[in-house]
A and B are shown apart, each in its own frame.
Chain A
Amino acid sequence: MTLPKAPTEPKPPRGYFGNITDTVVSTAKGMALTFRYLFRKKVTVQYPEVRPQLDERYRGIHYLEQELCINCDKCAKACPVDCIEMDATRHGKELEWHKFQLDYQKCMFCELCVYPCPKDCIHMGTEYSMVSEDRSDFVKDLLSWTGLTEEQQERIEAAEAAKAAKLAAKKKAAEEAAKKEPAEGEAGAEDPQA
């Protein structure tokens, strides 16, 4: 096996005037370079006014598509640091949300909560700045939920009314059946006597 050669051979030593020429030439080259740099476009991002352009896959603060979420708790179970907490009450097909909290003091932005979601409703966002003087501010509720909407209320009422009606109908049917049955039973009972 042959070792790779050094990319550049060391230069032979220069004489006295060679050194002077080298110094002057290399300094002049360097100065020319920095002079060109003087007028280059600046790379500084003026941070609070201008935000940096982030990658789409950047893992920032989560956002939740609440209408899709089914409160299945899979993300909370996947979370290695247990920073997700959720709670909701189910009214038929409607969910009455209580909380969907992320504790960003614990969260390490590992994105493991995103993969198990069956509805693909939790995502990593591009917001990254969290500044506060109070630790409790880092426990964030991702719900945009502000109570049930009228529409939902109506749907829930309608569903509940339908359910009640169904129940009532069932009950009625059962009652009727029960009414009929004793009559039949009486008839049946009379038979042996007959």
Chain B
Amino acid sequence: MYELLLSTAIALAVVLAFITVAAMFFVYAERKVAGWIQHRVGPNRTGGFAGWAQSIADSIKLLLKEDLILRGADRRLFQLAPAVVMASAFALFVVLPFGPGLIVADVDLGVFLILAIASVTTIGVIMAGWGSYNKWSVYGAMREAAQVASYEIPLGLSLMPPILYFGTFSLKAATEAQTGSFGMGWYLFSDAFWIAIPSFLLFFVAALAENKRAPFDLPEAESELVAGFHTEYSGIRFSFFFLEEYAAMFVFSAVGAALWLGGWNFPGIHLLEPGSTLLLVLATASFVLKAFFLVFIMMWVRWTVPRLRIDQVMTLGYKYLTPLSMAMALIAAGWEYVKHLGAQA
């Protein structure tokens, strides 16, 4: 019992530290990418070399800010919302297979769990918007509700092709299935690549919308709604929403990396002795780098594509992504059936 508690505490501490450091890095990276795309240099003063300490300075500033609660706000909802949002983002990390053996809990229904927990974030956002006593916040919350409800379907359906291909909901099992002969048996390069590529694109777009990242950042929509659902938040409560956004970005990128880009597998993994420290380090690095690459693409998209209108978001979700991802799921199932028939014959 004691050991279980201790190991859980250690795992939680590691995950929390990882989220915080990764979010700080992502904020810095986002500002740099934004700068470079706009022919600027981005933060380059704080800390001397290339402004590396900018995020640290920002987080200290955020922590020192006054924690404001409006008089008309629903205090309980207002205070609970950042905690709900943060907790759901935190729980998502439990099932991510960072490396062989480096997984907090290998759940059989890992992908399903991620989808389920990610939806809890929405409840937190709606709580925040409703509890804020602010028109903009309510608008943001309503948009979040509409958007996430409509993109949940394509997101889940676009995850079906890899699940059908590997025959498992577990991210760890899916990753292990992608080792192949020399670590390149990735789903994207498998015999079903012609299903994998479009389904990956569908997943990526749906994940952007699910994470309310640009061009689907309507719940925030700073040009229309000030800051949307977190308009009235300040200090550490605001930083929770911030952390959640980047943590969720990382989680969905990691799911994409685990299911399509081979997870921790890298070319040459078969040469290393299983269970060795070198393998563990390289595999973890490979997984994290793949996820970071997808996060970079999310940033790249954000600074390329302008924000959609809410009706365009709905059109894209219901008229395009949902039927297409459904078709991809059916095609994937059909392909598996054809392979099954071929194996029997």
Contact = CB atoms under 8 A, between A and B. Distances in A.
A144 interface: no
A43 B39 contact: yes
B39 A30 contact: no
B305 A37 contact: no
B320 to A, nearest CB: 6
B40 A30 contact: no
Nearest to A41: B39
B40 A42 contact: yes
A27 interface: yes
A34 B304 contact: yes
A38 B33 contact: yes
B303 interface: yes
Q: Which of B33, B41, B304 has the most CB of A within 10 A?
A: B304
B38 A35 contact: no
B320 A37 contact: no
Interface in B34-63: 35-41, 44
Nearest to A33: B304
A31 B37 contact: no
A174 interface: no
A35 B303 CA distance: 10
A179 interface: no
A176 B215 CA distance: 106
B37 A38 contact: yes
A30 B33 CA distance: 15
B40 A37 contact: no
Interface in B190-244: 201
Given A20-B320, A38-B33, A31 B300 contact: yes
Interface in A26-55: 27, 30-31, 33-35, 37-44, 46
A35 B304 CA distance: 9
Interface string B308-339: 00000000000010001000000000000000
Contact size class for A?
A: 10 to 19
Contacts of A24: 201
Nearest to B316: A23
B325 to A, nearest CB: 13
B304 A31 contact: yes
Nearest to B319: A16
B146 interface: no
Contacts of B201: 24
A30 B302 CA distance: 11
Contact of B36 (A20, A30, A31, A37): A37
Contact of A37 (B39, B41, B44, B301): B39
Contacts of A42: 35-36, 39-41
Contacts of B300: 31, 34-35, 38
Contact of A30 (B38, B41, B305): B305
Contacts of B33: 38
Contacts of B304: 27, 30-31, 33-34
Interface in B86-123: none
Given A27-B305, A34-B303, A46-B44, 6 more contacts: A31-B301, A33-B304, A34-B37, A38-B33, A41-B39, A42-B41
29 contacts: A20-B320, A20-B324, A24-B201, A27-B304, A27-B305, A30-B304, A30-B305, A31-B301, A31-B304, A33-B304, A34-B37, A34-B303, A34-B304, A35-B300, A37-B36, A37-B37, A37-B38, A37-B39, A38-B37, A39-B36, A40-B39, A42-B36, A42-B40, A43-B39, A43-B40, A44-B40, A44-B41, A46-B41, A46-B44
Interface of B: 33, 35-41, 44, 201, 300-301, 303-305, 320, 324
Interface of A: 19-20, 24, 27, 30-31, 33-35, 37-44, 46
